[in-house]
Structure 1
Amino acid sequence: MRIFYHIGRYTLFVKKVFGRPEKHSIFVKQVIKEIDKLGIDSLGIVFIISIFMGAVITLQTAYNLESPLIPRYTIGLAARDSMLLEFSSTIVGLILAGKVGSNIASEIGTMRVTEQIDALEIMGINPAGYLVLPKVVAFIFIIPFLVIISMGVGITGGFLAGSLSGEVPAPDYIYGIQYAFIPFYVVYSLIKGVVFAFVITTVSAYWGYYAEGGALEVGKASTTAVVTSSVQILLFNLLLTQLLLA
């Protein structure tokens, strides 16, 4: 029964989040600030994860394709489709759930236990819309760029790993990433990224917003936010794959 309680309260929370902003000028400034904090600051970890994912996918595929009947360009094709379909959206989303989600939950949770949110309510401001909506808009705006960067860096990482190790000749790899390319795979990955961004920001903000107690409870809320966001990402990944690729 507790899960249905949280689902109902989460629904009401999201409704409050999407209330009318207090002032458009302040809202725009907050969105720009959150883009820098949630998106630009995540570029480093996205870059590092993606280049190693691409390299590992390429090398593992190369080591397991020993048959002379299988052309070497299929390694580039496998690396490209793996990055486009799954790794650049889902795996990066799970990593960002840990980084961005914990940041949001701890920030809002701290404001809750120090009664800053109560002060906003007394002033007649909608705290959910004022604090959370800029984060949601900013992360949804920036996530497609992070996904595209992850795709490019991951494929490049695979190219470097294959070329430097000598497992995949550069012409074969380049031919493989061009072979039978389906543009919808990019669109599919971007759609997943936007859905994951919404899940990460709203779920993390929800747990922080309703945190009670002190610093220990804020830490627990942050952990719960990351776990819940990760499970939701895996669930929506399954649903979106079935809806968009079936």
Structure 2
Amino acid sequence: MEFISPTEFAKKKIQSVQDYSILAAQSVLNLFRPPHYWADTVQQMDLIGFGSLQIVLASVFFTGAALALNSATTLSRFGATTVIGQLVSIGIVRELGPVLAGLVVAGRNSSGMASELGSMIVTEQIDAMRALGTDPMKKLVTPRVAATVFMLFFLTILGDFMGLLGGSFVAGLLLGLDAHEYWSNAWQTLVFSDVFMGLMKPLVFGFIVATIGCYYGLSTKGGTQGVGRSTTEAVVAAMILIIVVDVFVTRFLMVILGS
């Protein structure tokens, strides 16, 4: 393993942050600049949204079921099992639904973007696009960013419902609670700030997933081995950023909403 001095390491990291920031900014600005590659965007929406749908729904469903089951174990000691719907509702809508959906899409699609764009770098397809006068940022990056943000938003909504359904399954069939009471408590406990927070997070997470995947893909070096390395780094970076940024987004929205 080659030794890198702390100064050189810091320079590389600062350069990486700068390059990523430029890519992220350009991906947003390109939304307002022609040409717009709508066909590519729709294709990416299909790959990202419908390709991840089953995994997201299953993940959040069983998470909601596990949350209800664990909550019941504790609440039964105090005779308060009727509030399980409230706990599952708050936990899924505010936190677990958006984060789980983001992590699933990061694992499935951030890696796919990195490997696809990395392969195009290695085979010099990106250089060929530039030679033909096509901007790779507009053609490859912006459609992926727009599609990921858009589809993760709706995946989170569907995932939230499946999480509540998983909690209802456990509460009704395994714990013997009244289904009407569960759904009534789950619905009544939600306020505007809960729903707003739960719907803002996937917009941020989707942007992170797409830009990280595209950045590592376009930064690929070293042939086929570099593609594999970029793919791994993209998944790890996207997942870590989702978890870290979630804390700051939650705190920011709590201050803004006064909750």
TM range (shorter): over 0.9
Q: Could you tell me which of 67, 76, 81 is aligned with 2:77? A: 67
Q: Does structure 2 retain, via aligned residues, the 8 Å contact 1:55–1:154?
A: yes
The AA in structure 2 aligned to 1:150 is G
Equivalent of 1:10 in 1, 20, 24: 20
Q: Does 1:171 align with 2:212?
A: no
- Structure 2 equivalent of residue 86 of structure 1: 95
Work out whether residues 105 and 205 of structure 1, in 8 Å CA contact, stay in contact via their aligned partners in 2. yes
CA distance in 2 between counterparts of 1:3 and 1:225 reads: 15
Q: Do residues 214 (structure 1) and 223 (structure 2) align?
A: yes
Query: How many angstroms apart in 1 are the aligned matches of 2:148 and 2:44?
Result: 8
- 1:46 deviates by 0.8
2:146 to 134, 137, 162: 137
Question: Alpha-carbon deviation of 1:13?
Answer: 2.3
Query: Which residue of 193, 196, 205 corresponds with 1:187?
Result: 196
Q: After the TM superposition, which residues 147-166 of structure 1 pair with which residues of structure 2 at under 5 Å, given as runs?
A: 147-166=156-175
Q: Deviations over 1:150-197 (max 9, x none)?
A: 011110111012211135332332232133321321211111100000
Structure 1 CA distance, aligned partners of 2:35 and 2:135?
A: 12
Do 1:51 and 1:154's aligned partners in 2 also have CA atoms closer than 8 Å? yes
Instruction: Report the TM-score, using the length of structure 2 for normalisation.
Output: 0.89
> Identity of counterpart residues, as a percentage?
29
Query: Aligned to 2:114, which of 105, 112, 115?
Result: 105
Match of 1:201 among 210, 221, 226: 210
Counterpart residue number, 2:55: 45
Please give the root-mean-square deviation of Cα atoms over the aligned residues, in Å.
1.6
Give deviations 1:85-108, integer Å, cap 9, x for gaps.
Answer: 111101221121111110111111
How many angstroms apart in 2 are the aligned matches of 1:15 and 1:179?
A: 40
Aligned-partner SS, 2:77: coil
Q: Is it true that 1:235 corresponds to 2:244 in the alignment? A: yes
**Deviations for 1:45-96, whole angstroms, at most 9, x for unmatched residues?**
011101101110001100111234x432211100111100111101221121
Taking a change above 3 Å as real, the CA distance of residues 185 and 236 of structure 1, as seen in their structure-2 partners, is: same
- What TM-score, normalized to structure 1? 0.93
Q: C-alpha distance in 2, partners of 1:67/1:41? A: 42
Q: Give the match's secondary structure for 2:96.
A: helix
The structural deviation recorded for 1:142 is 1.4
Letter in 2 for 1:216: Q
Deviation (angstroms), 1:141: 1.4
What residue is the counterpart of 2:39 in the other structure? Answer: 29
Specify every segment of 5 or more residues in structure 1 that has no aligned partner in the other structure, as ranges: none
Structure 1: distance between partners of 2:35 and 2:124: 23
1:123 aligns to 2:121 (yes or no): no
Q: Distance in 1 between matches of 2:99 and 2:248?
A: 13
Q: One-letter code of the match for 1:143?
A: L
Residues matched between the structures, number: 243
Amino acid at match of 1:65: L
Asked if the contact 2:60–2:163 (Cα under 8 Å) also holds between the matched residues in 1, the reply is: yes
